[in-house]
Amino acid sequence: MASHLGDPRVVEFDVRTDEMLINMGPQHPSTHGVLRLALRTDGEIVSEATPHIGYLHRCAEKIGENLSHRQYIPYTDRMDYLAAMNMNLGWALVVEKLLKHEVPERGRHLRVLMAELNRIASHLVAMGTYGLDLGSFTPFLYAFRERERILDLFEEVCGARLTYSYITPGGATGDLTEGWLEKCEAFLDQLAPVIEEYHTLLTSNAVFIRRTAGIGVLSAEMAIDYGTSGPVLRGSGVDYDLRRDGDPWYTGLYRDYKYEVIVQKDGHYPKDRDYPPVPAEAVLGDSWHRFYVRMLEVVQSVELVRQAMERYRAAKGDCGAPLKLTQRLPKGEAYLETEAPRGQMGFFLVADGNAIPWRVRVRSSSFCNLSITHEVCRGCLIADVPAVIGSLDIVMGEIDR
Amino acid sequence: MDHQKLFDQLRERFGDDVRALVVETIDPWIEVSAERLEDVCRLLKNDAAWQFNLLNCITAVDYFEPDAKKAAKVDWKPHVQMLYHLSSTTLKHTVVIKVRLPRWKDDVAGQLPEVASVSGIWRTADWHEREVYDLMGVMFVGHPDLRRILCPEDWEGYPLRKDYVMPLEYHGIRNR
Amino acid sequence: MAELINLQILNRLLGWAGVDLPPSHLAGAVLAALVHGVILLGIVAVAAMFFIWAERKVAGRIQDRLGPTRVGGRFGWLQALADGIKLLSKEDVRPREADALLFRCAPYVSFAASFTAYLALPFSDGWVAQHINSAVFFILAVLGLEVFGVILAGYASGSKWSLFGAMRESAQVVSYEVPLGLCVVVPVFICGTMNLVTIGNMQTGWLTNWLVFHDPFTFAVFWVYFTCAIASVNRAPFDLAEAESELVAGFHTEYSGMRWCYFFMAEYGSMLLVSGLATILFFGGWHGPVPVFDMLGWSSMGGVLQYVAELAGAANFLIKAVVGVTVMIWVRWTLPRLRIDQVMTTCLKYCTPLAAVCFLGALGWQTGMFGLAAGPLWSPNQLMAVKQRGEYRESWVLKAEAAAAAEGSAAQAGRPAASGDRDEPDVSGETEPARSSATGAVGSPLSRKGGVG
């Protein structure tokens, strides 16, 4: 009997593997919030991963068109809630750029201090949650233990532990309190040896290396093409850091600071002589490198905070007062990107002469970083999807705005 | 960076489609026509002298004043402005490209204005254009997958337009 | 446990009540089974609760925090009970898409497998619910059944994540049975028996007599065994079936309340079981590092003193098993999870060949293959031969022999042989003839079938 594929009996007894469509998220433990990934899998192998975003869309841009620049600060807090200081700074700088308003020297160092301290906190969370994504729970709590101390410092200075609204256009809501610098110093002294511990638990852990090295490889060209930024871009070996290469309004903050951009050059990271060497399995641009860049940036930020404290002590005067709520913005537009922990965080502001902007646009770093998902998750295993997403270190609040 | 030189080069190549250069502003910008945008962008990215390999952001600004009294005072005609913030990771310079679009295509309300997609040049434009389409209602011709990105698929209207009115309810959820 | 309960406690109680129900009688067997079942259930449940508490406490300390501190006064020792009450009071949710019957019974299958394996696990010298000649084999076989519960749960949940968990679990557990079995064979052939009580008793004496110190290969094979045991009970870093960061919660994604709890009881029960097995196979079972009771002579004295010695042995056994479980907990909170392909690679490319090499090595050591001597190589380990190698017999053989002897003597006495009116399960015998006669089991149909030499 001749059989053909249309014959239902043939199909019934034919051993076929069907593709399976799986929803990863929005309520999934490792999608870092409310990201939804539609995975098309063949067994454990992911043939297609399509991210769906927007579950946390809070119309931040529309709200910006209805509030004064000063009132908008709390909304910037809620974008990247893990690095609210950096968000505040980004907004403050773009308003100041439009107004051509310079903050005093002391205020400048205060800002560096806060931004870098928040970068440490943010990278600690990134590290901890990455461990969590790979099934290692303990580093997460270690990371939060250190982060708590940073939050204590922030709380002392502005009263909030997550949404600081501290750095405002014109300066900051207040100066540092008495004895704050000593506490910060104590924290940094305590943090430095702990970083070794993290490297033992994760960076140089054999299982961790096997889970991350060579996974989610993002070439330098593709990284730039997709507009990725921050540790994701530098993890691919692109030497680009806005603190050095950005807009003068932003790089001005860091002038006369000494630091090296954390990127692999000539096969070496700036500080890898002190820390675990790059394993042989790792490929430039993979999840391990992204993670490693973040870890080294913590060290870099510690040094920057130390420098900032020193300069803050030396600087005279005040640190700048917040602009008035009704301070009119001159007609015009300004775009400014800052190097937030997750990458280049851009704010675009169009003003028509009122205190309320005509248009606010937020360029989110995680938004672009996430857009590579479908590219790097193609053909990997299901277990690699959290490993890749975690290494991008996304914050949905910032992506959906 | 020498914006004038860039402008001259573009002018030479594309003629009047490269409309204006404004340097005496915070971020210098070049306005180009919607028709030649894709070609201009391709040149900006591929020309060894400029190497704008990074598209930072695509923004659309709706210039429209719903209030008739205020509308009389403004010095522009209603339009949608597209801004492309470009920079180069190698040469470390930036430029802003502006495109002026009508609010509605052929001034028929509901007909989305069209502009060429640059997602074939910078892949990051894929999501940015989807976002602009979603929130501002600009049709990107040649985009591979133009869907709403932040709002639900069946959302009506373009929220960032100045004349947008929030619907009273969405699938039985009261909005106002 | 068997002799103690069946003969001393149960019979005495029944004797007081004026009823004569030897375990060979059907009602007596049922009663004895019930008593053993309840006691073992108590042990498994208490162990599970203890380990849930211990897991939280150990994890807390590893993670630089305190863990539970309040419930039950100090140390939060009642935390697991509070958890249990909470789980009991939770709604038992079943997804509409789930297969109702399979979904409901899957947790019981899992738990029953884990629990049943305890039947053959001796806690001290002779303290075992069921003396089984092939106890090692029985435990491994029954433990392997636990995977059925997981597969059922994953299949019946009607959720893709559950299905993934179940597929991973089945692939993983089935693969790891191979090296696990190979590892277990090493102590078995060194001792020459599969009877766990005998294996335990052969390691009596100083701690050098433990099988793990028998030769380099048993030492190595223990680590392979431990790795495979962690994998076969689904603990991190091999907990792929419930990998929470990938599969939400794997096979128990859709479970809630008490049914969910059963999976955890099964998991913790299995952990203790494989640790207990490791204790007996490699760490001397109920024999402490220093043979205090042997020196005092209590362990063979009979009466209360022997009972005390056996009780101390049980404590010894439990301490070693708990240490094993604690190491598993420690590993879980330290290492990231492996990927499914890496788990399979670890099994097939490392564990299995290593176990095979150890097997061959131990075999060579035992037969003197590496030395010129014809006998076993020297080792500090002096396994106490419970009896001559040639004397190892399965119980059914011994029974048949005893029955044949009895028949012979009965024939001599000129009266018909007492015929067994009931078939005894084949596996329920005892190794040592002395004990076998002590149980008073008489008569076997085997003799009628022609007997077996």
pLDDT tens sequence across C396-405: 666 777 778 8
- What pLDDT shows up at residue C446? 36
- Look at residue C300 and tell me whether its pLDDT is greater than 50: yes
Q: Is residue C391 part of a domain?
A: no
Q: With cut-offs at 50, 70 and 90, classify the pLDDT of residue A196.
A: confident
Nearest to B124 among A57, A371, A400 (CB): A371
- Look at residue A24 and tell me whether its pLDDT is greater than 60: yes
- What pLDDT shows up at residue C439? 38
Nearest to A138 among C164, C239, C334 (CB): C334
Mean pLDDT of B81-93: 88
Cα–Cα distances (Å) from C216 to A35, A157, C62, C223, C365, in that order, read 52, 62, 32, 11, 9
Q: Is residue C54 part of a domain?
A: no
Q: Is residue C422 part of a domain?
A: no
Q: Do C341 and A381 touch (CB under 8 A)?
A: yes
pLDDT tens-place string over residues A220-275: 888 888 989 889 998 888 888 888 888 888 888 888 888 888 888 877 788 777 77
- What pLDDT shows up at residue A122? 92
Tell me what ipTM this predicted complex has: 0.87
Average pLDDT, chain C: 77
The residue that leads in pLDDT, C291 or A128, is A128
pLDDT tens-place string over residues A341-376: 988 889 999 988 888 898 899 998 889 999 898 888
Minimal C-alpha gap between B155 and chain A (Å): 12
Minimal C-alpha gap between A207 and chain C (Å): 6
Minimal C-alpha gap between A260 and chain B (Å): 17
Q: Do C337 and A136 touch (CB under 8 A)?
A: yes
Cβ contacts (< 8 Å) between C236 and chain A: which residues? 135
Q: Do chains B and C touch (3 or more CB pairs under 8 A)?
A: no
Report helix angle C100-117 to C26-62, nearest 10. 90
Test mutation, A354, A359, A398, chain B, max B CBs within 10 A: A359
Are residues C439 and C402 in contact, defined by beta-carbon separation less than 8 angstroms? no
The residue that leads in pLDDT, A155 or C26, is A155
B57 touches A: beta carbon within 8 Å: yes
Among A41-45, A320-324, C108-112, C283-287, name the most confident range.
C108-112
B42 touches A: beta carbon within 8 Å: no
Q: Is residue C5 part of a domain?
A: no
Nearest to B124 among A61, A227, A361 (CB): A227
Tell me which residue of A39, A38, A40, A36 sits closest to A54, measured CA to CA: A36
- What pLDDT shows up at residue C288? 77
A-C Cβ pairs (cutoff 8 Å, strict)? 81
Q: Do A211 and C336 touch (CB under 8 A)?
A: yes
Nearest to C340 among A44, A207, A208 (CB): A44
Our count of domains for chain C comes to 1
Residues in chain C: 453
**From A262-266, B154-158, C9-13, the region with the lowest mean pLDDT:** C9-13
Q: Do B26 and A332 touch (CB under 8 A)?
A: yes
Cβ contacts (< 8 Å) between A373 and chain B: which residues? none
Q: Is residue C365 part of a domain?
A: yes
- What pLDDT shows up at residue A151? 92
- What pLDDT shows up at residue A319? 79
Cβ contacts (< 8 Å) between C240 and chain A: which residues? 383
Residues 127-166 of A with CB under 8 A from C: 131-138, 141-142, 145
Minimal C-alpha gap between B73 and chain A (Å): 12
Q: Do A137 and C63 touch (CB under 8 A)?
A: yes
Q: With cut-offs at 50, 70 and 90, classify the pLDDT of residue C377.
A: low
Minimal C-alpha gap between A288 and chain C (Å): 14
Residues 350-379 of A with CB under 8 A from B: 350, 352, 358-359, 361, 363, 367-368, 371
Q: Is residue C65 part of a domain?
A: no
Mean pLDDT of A145-168: 89
Residues 245-264 of A with CB under 8 A from B: 245, 247
A61 touches B: beta carbon within 8 Å: yes
Q: Do A138 and C336 touch (CB under 8 A)?
A: no
- Look at residue B83 and tell me whether its pLDDT is greater than 80: yes
- Look at residue C67 and tell me whether its pLDDT is greater than 70: yes
Q: Do A359 and B62 touch (CB under 8 A)?
A: yes
Structural domain boundaries enclosing C230: 90-371
Type and span of the H or E element at B43: helix B37-46
Average pLDDT, chain A: 86
Q: Do C333 and A202 touch (CB under 8 A)?
A: no
Nearest to B151 among A57, A359, A368 (CB): A57
- What pLDDT shows up at residue C82? 87
A34 Cα distance to chain centroid: 17
A338 touches B: beta carbon within 8 Å: no
- What pLDDT shows up at residue A11? 47
The residue that leads in pLDDT, C103 or B109, is C103
Mean pLDDT of C162-182: 87
- Look at residue A9 and tell me whether its pLDDT is greater than 80: no
In SS3 terms, chain C reads as: CHHHHHHHHHHHHHHHHCCCCCCCCHHHHHHHHHHHHHHHHHHHHHHHHHHHHHHHHHHHHHCCCCCCCCCCCCCCCCHHHHHHHHHHCCCCCCCCCCCHHHHHHHHHHHHHHHHHHHHHCCCCCCCCCCCCCCHHHHHHHHHHHHHHHHHHHHHHCCCHHHHHHHHHHHHHHHHHHHHHHHHHHHHHHHHCCCCHHHHHHHCCCCHHHCHHHCCHHHHHHHHHHHHHHHHHCCCCCCCHHHCHHHHCCHHHCCCCHHHHHHHHHHHHHHHHHHHHHHHHHHCCCCCCCCCHHHHHCHHHCCHHHHHHHHHHHHHHHHHHHHHHHHHHHHHHCCCCCCCHHHHHHHHHHHHHHHHHHHHHHHHHHHHCCCCCCCCCCCCCCCCCCCCCHHHCCCHHHHHHHHHHHHHHHHHHHCCCCCCCCCCCCHHHCCCCHHHHHHCCCCCCHHHHCCCCC
The residue that leads in pLDDT, C308 or A292, is A292
Q: Do A207 and C237 touch (CB under 8 A)?
A: yes
Test mutation, A368, A370, A400, chain B, max B CBs within 10 A: A368
Q: Which domains does chain B have, with CATH numbers?
A: 3-174 (3.30.460.80)
Q: Is residue C4 part of a domain?
A: no
Q: Give the Cβ contact number of residue B102 at 10 Å.
A: 16
Test mutation, A367, A369, A376, A399, chain B, max B CBs within 10 A: A367
Cβ contacts (< 8 Å) between A220 and chain B: which residues? none
Mean pLDDT of A370-387: 87
The residue that leads in pLDDT, C445 or B140, is B140
Residues 229-248 of A with CB under 8 A from B: 238, 240, 245, 247
Mean pLDDT of B18-35: 84
Tell me which residue of A353, A352, A346 sits closest to A93, measured CA to CA: A346
**From A23-37, C5-19, C24-38, C164-178, the region with the lowest mean pLDDT:** C5-19
Q: Is residue C23 part of a domain?
A: no
Q: Do A138 and C248 touch (CB under 8 A)?
A: no
Mean pLDDT of A371-382: 86
- What pLDDT shows up at residue C451? 35
Q: With cut-offs at 50, 70 and 90, classify the pLDDT of residue B111.
A: confident
Which amino acid is residue B153, in one-letter code?
E
**From A173-187, B108-122, C16-30, C247-261, the region with the lowest mean pLDDT:** C16-30
- Write down the pTM of the prediction: 0.83
Mean pLDDT of C101-124: 87
Q: With cut-offs at 50, 70 and 90, classify the pLDDT of residue B40.
A: confident
C391 Cα distance to chain centroid: 25
- What pLDDT shows up at residue C335? 86
Cα–Cα distances (Å) from C253 to B21, B152, C108, in that order, read 60, 28, 16
Q: Which domains does chain A have, with CATH numbers?
A: 11-400 (1.10.645.10)
Minimal C-alpha gap between B132 and chain A (Å): 11
Chains touching C, CB cut-off 8 Å, 3+ pairs = A
Cα–Cα distances (Å) from C428 to C6, C120, C128, C381, in that order, read 13, 10, 11, 31
Q: Which residue of A has its CA nearest to C330?
A: A138
CA distance C376 to A341: 65
